[in-house]
Amino acid sequence: MNLNDTTSAAVLDRLQRQSADPRRRILFTGATIVTMDPELGVVSGGELLVEGSTITAVGHDLRADGAVVVDATDAILAPGFVDTHRHAWEAQLRRIMPDVDDLGGYVTTTLAGYAPVYRPQDMYVGTRLAALTAIDSGITCMLDFSHNSRTSEHSDAAVQALLDTGIRGVHASMGPHFGDWDRQWPGDLSRLRNQFFHSDDQLLTLRVAALATDEIAGPAFAYGPELARIAEDLGVGVSVDAVFGKVSSEAVLRWNKEGILGPDVTLIHATGLTAEAWRAMGESGTTVALAPTSDAQIGLETAIPAVDEALAVGIRPGLSIDVEVALASDMFTQMRALHAIQRMRAVNAAHSTGQQPSRISTHDVLDFATLQGARTNGLQGVTGSLTPGKKADLLVVQAEDLNNMPLNDPVATIVLGSDARNITAVLINGDTRKWNGEVLDVDLPALRSQVHASREYVLNTSTID
């Protein structure tokens, strides 16, 4: 697929001019299609048809009268990645503490030091930067665990940033851990729901964000029957962060007795949990969001991503980025880190025992980063695979670039070979968000100026030396 020519520009022009037409058709031809649909599998030399915002057919020799044809020869079509947990407001502080030693260091510096000085415009700039970067690296759906909602205006700014990027965003709202704030959360969730999330057929969805226990920020943010009731009344899911160790294990067992675990609840990290807690999670169908680099690099609880524990109870987890103040921004890094860590542990455990290591595959981690991520975010019927009837959230990955050629295994090429530079195009909800290797509708000089100004304000105003 060659997008670096006048033909490519003409195709993009047609796509953009017809973007508002619900009958618009786009036909991708000649591609290796990694559907991540268990029944469709990989389709070689295939075609994929998009009508309006929806994938309507995958196969060969599709009829598509009047379609905009995109020649995807030498490219891989794949579902967009799904990020199940990122604190997007922090993006202008990227890699400011790359060697943070533990959760306490992160909490003290970022949540107690930088977060209290954030203005609504800083929330907007950080969230928009994170979402645009997500799109650039092939993440078409991002759950923003927005835990710095000091006022209603802070929340509105974070939601508006997601809207303005065109990402499939999940706004998981929570009040701040430390500092002064309006105490409008969780009461303000109803207003947010009515103002921004009034339709079930839109790019943005809402979730309640909470913590596992009261250890970090007090009982107001700890998940329990009251927050579960609020989520049920709003008709939204719950994402629970900082699920670590013995105290969280006890909380999980308590939630199970209270009947507030289930598929609409996501437990984030889930490191160092007891076997009893994992059984309760598996039996209730609770979802799990792993943060492979966060757990390992920052050293959260056991520092080992809990993929084996999840799989043992029938949970196929989603993957997430977590905090860009210390970590990489892209899903390729998460997939590779988890793939390497789990296989290392499996071989090490079987070494000298005569047993066969139980290793995950590249297909497993791509499944976690796409289909299972969508399920974790409550969007399994919307995105996560190139299945007819789902929304057209997809990537065009160059398979014959210098770092990928020759194409031997398309799944391994995505997981082990590719990075953001190989993603030629990104579609979200059928709309083109990246083309010819560039994210569209972004004034980079203006964005850069806003990011630098916001960073300087936060650094100069905070109590951190």
Distance CA 28, CA 30 (A): 7
Structural domain includes residue 210: yes
Number of separate domains in the chain:
2
pLDDT for 313-340, tens place per residue? 999 999 999 999 999 999 999 999 999 9
| Nearest CA among 297, 292, 329, 447 for reference residue 88 | 329
How many CA atoms within 13 Å lie on the side-chain side of 463? 10
73 and 92 inside one domain: no
Strands 54-59 and 68-71: unpaired
Span between the terminal Cα atoms of the chain, in Å:
50
Q: Which two tokens stand for residue 315?
A: 């949970």
In sequence order, which ranges of 139-181 are alpha helices (DSSP H)?
152-165
The greatest distance separating any two alpha carbons of the chain, rounded to the nearest whole angstrom, comes to: 63
Structural domain includes residue 89: yes
Quote the pLDDT of residue 425.
Answer: 97
Quote the pLDDT of residue 4.
Answer: 47
Q: Which two tokens stand for residue 319?
A: 């993957």
| pLDDT above 70: residue 449 | yes
pLDDT for 199-216, tens place per residue? 878 999 999 999 999 988
User: Of the residues 376, 394, 429, which one is the last residue of a structural domain?
Assistant: 376
Structural domain includes residue 444: no
Quote the pLDDT of residue 3.
Answer: 52
Cβ 287 vs Cβ 58: under 8 Å: no
360 and 421 inside one domain: no
Structural domain includes residue 453: no
Structural domain includes residue 357: yes
Structural domain includes residue 51: yes
162 and 280 inside one domain: yes
| Nearest CA among 183, 178, 232 for reference residue 207 | 232
96 and 52 inside one domain: no
191 and 118 inside one domain: yes
Residue scoring higher pLDDT (142 or 14): 142
* Signed CA dihedral, 211, 215, 217, 218: sign only: positive
| pLDDT above 60: residue 5 | no
Structural domain includes residue 454: no
The whole-number average pLDDT for the span 360-368 is 98
Give bridge partners of residue 322 from the DSSP assignment. 86
Domain that holds residue 300: 81-376
User: Of the residues 352, 376, 400, which one is the last residue of a structural domain?
Assistant: 376
232 and 118 inside one domain: yes
Q: Phi and psi of 263, rounded to 5°?
A: -60, -20
- For residue 173, name the pLDDT band (cuts at 50, 70, 90): very high
191 and 321 inside one domain: yes
| pLDDT above 90: residue 217 | no
119 and 21 inside one domain: no
Residue scoring higher pLDDT (20 or 448): 448
